[in-house]
Chain A
Amino acid sequence: MTQDDRELLNRMAKGDQSALDAFYRLYEGRVYRFIRSKLNDSFDASDVLNEVMFEVWRNASRFEGRSSVSTWVLGIAHHKTIDRIRRRKPGESVELDPEMAEDDVPDAAETLSAAQDAKQVRHCVDQLSEAHRSVVHLAFFEDLPYGEIAGIVGCPEGTVKTRMFHAKKALMKCLAGLKEMGLS
């Protein structure tokens, strides 16, 4: 798969549009889903996907092979999505939410039943900051190692781990709150 990806990029760098077709079909679903996990708007997500693929086409020759192709493409998607969020909400930070007070975080066992309810989990994931949602998506949907996630979102590995830690705590609080309200 990796060799195929790189071969496609090499051909795209030479202007081969059939390689673009193959590359697009290979990555479009993954990239769209990643963007969509950060943007709650399918039109915006389609626009950003288009921008990402356009940039991949234009810059295929600049891929240096220091990361996997998927890390490179998802990294472009990450930055394009953040640009879109900033344009949509000027002045709004897209970095970590202020660290939440972590007292009263329930035990994992207490929130397990709520974590098995798809609607509750969806609701709570949607409440996370963009930075936290990205890490959760890349770790649990893409099943990527923390080192690769750090490459995509452009931060140290330790930051990825702590973002995931805080995201989990936020999810637990949210799920426990829904449980208290009798919604799970």
Chain B
Amino acid sequence: MMAENGNRDEALDLLLPWYVNDTLGAEERQQVEAYLERSPHARDEVDLLRALRQQVKEQRIENSPGDLGLQRLKREIKQDTQQSGGSDGKTGKVVTVANWWRPLAVAACLAVMVQAAVMVGLTGLPGSDVTTASGNAAVLQVTFAPDATEQQIRDVLQSAGASIADGPTALGIYNLRLVDPTGTTVEEALATLRASNRIVTFAERN
């Protein structure tokens, strides 16, 4: 596997990803640079690895839990301290941290689903006046930073073309609807909300 084969050196091929992320030591870096000088195969590999690295770096995921997660952690540390009679939660006692979170999350989701079902039921009745003027449904879920002001939240929602449909849930989640679904897509609103990550700590499709 490590033998040189034509213009390929499999031992040096193994180092190329770390040449690309610029973390090789001086000696290995020099070996790779000499390899790149003599091997078109190595140069192609480096081009490919650079493209892959750039895409991995640019991949977007939803926001992390942020302050919501910190509050949860502190609640559990406090709970652990109280249960153990310790002073700072450093008891070594293993806590199944997910236990309270799951039922709460499920309950919150169920509450939204029940509410949605009720809304659907009501809007389906002849002559019902529950339908919103635009008839649009809650399509996004967000949480806001604890220190976000009403003015900041208002500005973010207006720039995203969204308004609060209901919430907060027990987990601090708000459901949003689009003010004008014909003028703003869900993706556009989501991108705007996520770009305001100092105000909006979590944003996902409903």
Instruction: Give the B-binding residues of A (Cβ under 8 A).
Output: 15, 17, 20-21, 24-25, 28-29, 32-33, 36, 42-43, 46-47, 49-51, 53-54, 57-58, 61, 107-109, 111-112, 115-118, 121-122, 125, 136-137, 139-141, 143-146, 161-162, 164-165, 168, 171-172
Stretch at the interface among B56-64, B120-128, B152-160, B182-190: B56-64
Identify 17 new A-B residue pairs, CB closer than 8 A, beyond the known A21-B70, A136-B56, A140-B17: A17-B77, A28-B69, A46-B69, A50-B65, A50-B72, A50-B97, A50-B101, A54-B77, A115-B48, A116-B55, A121-B52, A141-B56, A141-B57, A143-B23, A144-B21, A146-B23, A165-B13
Q: Does B89 contact A (CB under 8 A)?
A: yes
| Residues of the A chain whose Cβ atoms lie less than 8 Å from the Cβ of B66 | 28
Distance in Å from the Cβ of A17 to the closest Cβ of chain B?
Answer: 7
Interface residues in B, total, Cβ within 8 A: 49
Q: Does B180 contact A (CB under 8 A)?
A: no
When the two chains form their complex, are residues B21 and A139 in contact, meaning their CB atoms are under 8 A apart? yes
Distance, CA A33 to CA B23, complexed state (A): 21
When the two chains form their complex, are residues B14 and A165 in contact, meaning their CB atoms are under 8 A apart? yes
Given contacts A107-B44, A108-B44, A122-B59, contact A116 B69 (CB under 8 A): no
Number of A-B contacts (CB under 8 A): 135
When the two chains form their complex, are residues A108 and B47 in contact, meaning their CB atoms are under 8 A apart? yes
Q: Does B151 contact A (CB under 8 A)?
A: no
| Residues of the A chain whose Cβ atoms lie less than 8 Å from the Cβ of B26 | none
| Residues of the B chain whose Cβ atoms lie less than 8 Å from the Cβ of A111 | 48
